[in-house]
Amino acid sequence: MKPWIIVLIIIVSVLVVGGLIAFISFCFGISSMMANMFCRPKHFKTKEEKIQEMNEIEDLDGRDLYERTPITFKMKDGYIIHGDYSLNDPKKFVICMHGHISNREGSIKYAYALYRLGYSLVFYDHRSHGENERGIITMGYQEHLDALEIIEQVKEKFGQDIQIGLFGCSMGGATALLCVKDRQDLSFVISDCAFASLEDMVRGLIRIHKAPYWPILQITEMYFKKRYGFSYRDTCPKEELKLNKKVPILFIHGDKDALVFPENANYLYNNDNGPKRLVWFIGATHCGSIIADKEKYYKVIEDFIKEEVR
């Protein structure tokens, strides 16, 4: 065989093998990032850092917004979830759910809009976040089952007759929406920049990297199912919302969101069969609507509560 043919075969082989390795690494990277298997506490902002972030919005001169009391929730599988609560009106509560790679301090700046309206607040860390034991994150699948248990435990502690609303941002928003089917007694849900389905979320990540949807979607879903025990179809708020009849939902989304693309909000809104509102924040990026226009953010929530919540 001629030397140039051998060289050509070697080059082609290296390119093929290298491309295959890069492709597999990309699929593994997306799956690992979503399940957060490399998550460590150093990724989470501390309470002090979040207070400082809130001070920059509210000019509070270093003060915390709430007097908070620690609380823990024990799940049916024995997992302990850490949180705290701030009492206001003893009959009206909002359970606040943070986003992926955050902790309960990440809900502080959003929840102030509800605290101003008299609501007592419950904050907690999702599994593998904040103070909780490290493990696998399921992007709303196990998290919404935890949320349903936390709702029951909040009622047990503060009274079966209390009103409970949910607030969530990003993954927390999707988690809150997944609760609606099972809790038609919720007072309301506020969902800020939630994804419509886990598949839509993965599609967004693939789009960001300018990679082909096929076969990455199929491979990552198979990996999710095999490695973590859940699939895209198990985490699909837009399908669950078709069963909503009673719970008022406020959808908030920034039109410049480059992580959870704006069409997700349209999917969710169009599939919801209950009372609903969709409000866009012009120029806002992911989780940035409150930063883009704080006064509008507070006003949107206030109007929604006054007009839709009974």
The answer to whether 246 and 184 are in contact (CB under 8 A) is yes
Query: In the sheet where 80-86 sits, what is the strand order?
Result: 69-74, 80-86, 119-124, 89-97, 163-169, 188-192, 249-254, 276-281
Average pLDDT over residues 91-100: 96
pTM: 0.84
Write the pLDDT tens digit of every residue in 155-189.
999 999 999 999 999 999 999 999 999 999 999 99
pLDDT, residue 66, reads: 76
In the chain, what are the domain boundaries?
1-35+198-233, 41-196+235-308
Write the pLDDT tens digit of every residue in 40-51.
444 455 556 655
Residue 207 pairs in a beta bridge with: none
pLDDT, residue 142, reads: 93
Q: In which region does residue 301 sit, left (phi positive, over 0), alpha (psi from -120 to 50) or beta (all else)?
A: alpha
Write the pLDDT tens digit of every residue in 211-263.
777 777 787 777 778 777 777 778 999 999 999 999 999 999 999 999 899 99
Place of tokens 């309470």: 47
Helix (H, G, I), strand (E, B) or coil at 252: strand
The answer to whether 165 and 189 are in contact (CB under 8 A) is yes
Residue 27 has pLDDT above 70, yes or no: no
Strands 89-97 and 163-169 turn out to be: parallel
For the chain, give the percent of residues with pLDDT over 90.
58
Token couple for 3: 């030397």
Domain 41-196+235-308's class?
alpha beta
